[in-house]
């Protein structure tokens, strides 16, 4: 991915990427941001709400990851994200094992589906934050048993929402209608630049650990 946009930070606070995802750090480095990495604890990604849609879920998880990390700093702009695939009403996160990866890929095979990434930007000094969600539509060719077996053997599905890596160079997956590639890989860099540029206008004050309860369900 070339020419990733970079925006100036909205405050003089250092940028902290609250993520253990190598893809997110790679995208941020490729765009030229200065940042440190401080991942959220695993418990930030938990809690099931059966009424929740994919965009609501990624918004809630991004928010919880940012909340977990922002409490460690007096001065930082914390950036957290969460990515899932969504197909036929199912929300597909990271696979537990190869059998789980196979069942996700069989569901996605031959479909148009969506990838959602929720982003949370949180200023520790001002206790103001933004939660935002981006969607990219993808199309996966019908996978033959051989294609599936070959991909599973690469282990490239590990740690990836929906059990595929758009960046792995497979010709059986493509973006529909010019959506954001970086959003699929875990961080919508174009949207992130807009959020940083418009932080003052978009950020809301956080009260007692919650922001916009209509959007972030907990």
Ligand X SMILES: Cc1cn([C@H]2C[C@H](O)[C@@H](COP(=O)(O)OP(=O)(O)OP(=O)(O)O)O2)c(=O)[nH]c1=O
Query: Active-site residues: which are they?
Result: 82
List of residues contacting ligand X (CB under 6 A)? 19-21, 23, 39, 45, 65, 81-83, 85, 94, 115, 159-162, 164-167, 184-186
Between 81 and 211, CB nearer to ligand X: 81
Query: Which of 100, 126 has the CB closer to ligand X?
Result: 100
Torsions phi, psi of 69, nearest 5? -85, -35
Which of 2, 207 has the CB closer to ligand X?
Answer: 2
- Nearest approach in angstroms of CB 200 to ligand X is 25
| Contact of 125 with 74, CB cutoff 8 Å | yes
b/e map 78-97, b = 16+ CB within 10 Å = bbbbbbbbbbeeebbbbbee
* Residue 96 CB, nearest approach to ligand X (Å): 13
The CA distance from 57 to 216, in Å, is 8
Residue 163 beta carbon to ligand X: minimum distance, rounded to whole angstroms: 8
Under 8 Å between Cβ of 142 and 109: yes
Residue for token digits 């001065």?
75
């Amino acid at each position: 991915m070339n020419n990733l946009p970079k925006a100036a930070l909205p405050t003089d606070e250092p940028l902290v990427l609250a993520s253990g995802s190598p893809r997110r750090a790679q995208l941020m480095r490729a765009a030229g941001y200065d940042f440190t990495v401080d991942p959220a604890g695993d418990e930030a990604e938990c809690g099931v709400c059966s009424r929740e849609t994919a965009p609501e879920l990624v918004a809630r998880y991004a928010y919880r990851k940012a909340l977990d990390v922002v409490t460690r700093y007096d001065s930082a702009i914390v950036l957290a994200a969460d990515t899932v695939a969504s197909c036929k009403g199912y929300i597909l996160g990271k696979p537990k094992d190869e059998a789980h990866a196979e069942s996700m890929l069989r569901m996605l095979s031959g479909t148009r589906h969506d990838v959602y990434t929720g982003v949370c930007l949180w200023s520790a000094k001002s206790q103001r934050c933004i939660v935002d969600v981006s969607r990219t539509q993808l199309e996966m060719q019908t996978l033959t048993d051989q294609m599936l077996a070959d991909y599973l053997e690469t282990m490239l599905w590990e740690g990836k929402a929906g059990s595929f890596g758009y960046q792995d160079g497979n010709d059986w997956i493509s973006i529909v209608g010019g959506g954001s590639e970086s959003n699929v890989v875990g961080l919508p860099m174009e949207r992130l630049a807009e959020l940083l540029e418009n932080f003052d206008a978009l950020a809301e004050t956080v009260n007692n650990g919650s922001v916009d309860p209509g959007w972030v369900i907990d």
